[in-house]
Structure 1
């Protein structure tokens, strides 16, 4: 019997995943990851991790599998929380869920599991794993989950071949309603539990409240840039090379306060992210205001009216060499090579037609259509068919 250690989070997905593994004849052990115990930032006096770990324990009891809790809060603080604050201070918007998978679940947690003699680590993610043979070697594939509405492959876009080789995703072939149905039939305590919102494994924490604990409020101005502003009407220059054109398409516009008008005040540019609409508290505009850029050095937020504001739309993005990650290392591009892919710049975004261009300094992702709010610090991920083959942090 192969031994599988499953991350039991106290939610319905991992509960059903554990049951399915047991049905498949594995020796299953449940481990709950405690990633946070600084109660000063949870937004209610409920203690979510305690509640979740109790639910996880009840599920393990019901399924008749051994269970224990591991405290990873030190590593979580170091690798996720400190990194997040550092990114926000630089005016970038990190994705804690992608990082949590790369750094915690499939690294720290996986190493603990392997030390406990596990052959595999399993999670309740909606994605699938494939394996193909190439030149006599096994190559592992990360495939989208069968439930198009819940596919979570994007969150695992930074996994390596090594990590995938040891991973199992038992519910990847199921839809969410099917998972809930199994949990109901088994009478599991998590059957009707709502999906967790908030930061990966911290529990019920609202991001702005969380950030305010560390990043001090600092009053600044909100500037509205009109659509008609001449910076958007510049004639596209003649390009001497494809790379020059891509550089132009992915360029960052240098906004200045005198390009628009001051329409309000805010408490800190580092709390805001591109494309954000909530929290600006500026009324009286014809169309809703969206954040089109932030400048954390000058503490200014630039906004524009409406979803189609030219400040939100771009056709290309750039990823620096050190931030490019190929799950399928065998498909990695060499300088001057291109590849047709489907790509997304955020979770749940429908896949978009795109072309990858490898250059000396990194990788350009050029989209067929304009993309809204391409955000520095977020992950772009690219697919061929339903296989996620690579990803990178947007520069």
Structure 2
């Protein structure tokens, strides 16, 4: 029983963080509940679709019920600068950011952590479905980020940009539980959030469609939708050579497989118009509003400079499927610093490029310019700006922003 350690819990007004606070109190920690207000620009959202006031009230009621101190902290200026502005800049450049991963790295385990430390907290805790482990390497404690026990809710991918310092201060008290068990505990403790529905996505967007949100700064601009044929000669270079181990690929082959494709209008034919290439992302199917194509139409490339969208017909179009991706040197992040690859070395792990995606075997090849990630199975819809994360079993080892 630990009676001295102080923990600040990010109380969001949801069931997961509520149970997090309850469990920590039961374990003997001194618990403080803190609600983060991350967004309040009424001009870009519909206020009743972003119930932060209701969430704040629920968080306060939970703190009252558990007899723990409670305070709210307004982080909206930092959130605007570090998350929202970044999102707009990335979409404007034709890339696909992941605000959830950034929010954890930049807000919850940076700005919020610093606010907690001003309250002399030893740890911050969140209601994430993941687990923290420890081991000793060369006499030093190394922190491990492990998948949550509930495979359907595992959120380790969203925390794949955390570092050792952040992990050393983080607690994830519900990571070993199933969601059903968390709800059961909340009901038994008569917490107001016990039956509350899980929030979907980022509150500030609410139920507003992402293009509508982006239109606040990125204005609509008519452009061409081009369909690209399957037999484009450059697709032949993107295939993985048969019978050759990825470690033996030459530089030209690695670049051909891992670097993003760039299209131009005369490679295909126009089949429609769109309202702005920056509203679309690779792999997207909805929102194109082009009918009569037979097979479903997918975005396989965007060009925000000339304002064209490039599409392919069907889920097996070679422009939609890729065996590799590249992470520039400055964007490679190791959670496990002790497992960092040096240029000229390789490793095999499992990887994913989106939340809740099944892990797929990958080969990592580190070069002077960055990391080449080669998948055993072709991946659908690899988009620049997304994050790739690699795992050893249930442990997240590192991650990077896709070029």
TM-score, normalising length: structure 2: 0.94
**Aligned to 2:340, which of 332, 343, 354?**
332
- Between the aligned partners of 2:317 and 2:158, the Cα distance in structure 1 is 29
What does residue 243 of structure 1 align with? 251
- For the pair 1:146 / 2:154, whether they are aligned, the reply is no
Within 5 Å, give how 1:285-304 maps onto structure 2. 285-304=293-312
Query: Do the aligned residues in 2 keep the contact of 1:80 with 1:99 (CA within 8 Å)?
Result: yes
- Change in CA separation of 1:295 and 1:285 when aligned onto 2, cut-off 3 Å: same
Deviations 1:258-304 (A, max 9, x none): 22221111110000001011111111111111111101001011111
What does residue 73 of structure 1 align with? 76
Query: Do the aligned residues in 1 keep the contact of 2:50 with 2:203 (CA within 8 Å)?
Result: no
- For the pair 1:61 / 2:61, whether they are aligned, the reply is no
Q: CA RMSD in A?
A: 1.8
- Change in CA separation of 1:202 and 1:4 when aligned onto 2, cut-off 3 Å: farther
- Change in CA separation of 1:67 and 1:203 when aligned onto 2, cut-off 3 Å: farther
- Between the aligned partners of 1:360 and 1:83, the Cα distance in structure 2 is 27
Within 5 Å, give how 1:197-208 maps onto structure 2. 197-199=200-202, 203-208=206-211
- Between the aligned partners of 1:373 and 1:107, the Cα distance in structure 2 is 31
- For the pair 1:377 / 2:380, whether they are aligned, the reply is no
- For the pair 1:175 / 2:206, whether they are aligned, the reply is no
- For the pair 1:306 / 2:309, whether they are aligned, the reply is no
**Aligned to 2:88, which of 52, 76, 85?**
85
Query: Do the aligned residues in 2 keep the contact of 1:11 with 1:52 (CA within 8 Å)?
Result: yes
What does residue 128 of structure 1 align with? 131
What does residue 166 of structure 2 align with? 163
Structure 1 residue 386, shift from structure 2 partner: 0.6
What does residue 15 of structure 2 align with? 12
- Change in CA separation of 1:87 and 1:147 when aligned onto 2, cut-off 3 Å: same
What does residue 341 of structure 1 align with? 349
Structure 1 residue runs of 5 or longer lacking an equivalent are none
Deviations 1:131-164 (A, max 9, x none): 0011111000000000011100000000010000
Structure 1 residue 306, shift from structure 2 partner: 1.3
What does residue 101 of structure 2 align with? 98
SS of aligned partner of 1:45: helix
TM-score, normalising length: structure 1: 0.96
Query: Do the aligned residues in 2 keep the contact of 1:21 with 1:28 (CA within 8 Å)?
Result: yes
Structure 1 residue 36, shift from structure 2 partner: 0.7
Moved more, 245-254 or 324-333: 245-254
Query: Do the aligned residues in 2 keep the contact of 1:10 with 1:54 (CA within 8 Å)?
Result: yes
- Change in CA separation of 1:236 and 1:71 when aligned onto 2, cut-off 3 Å: closer
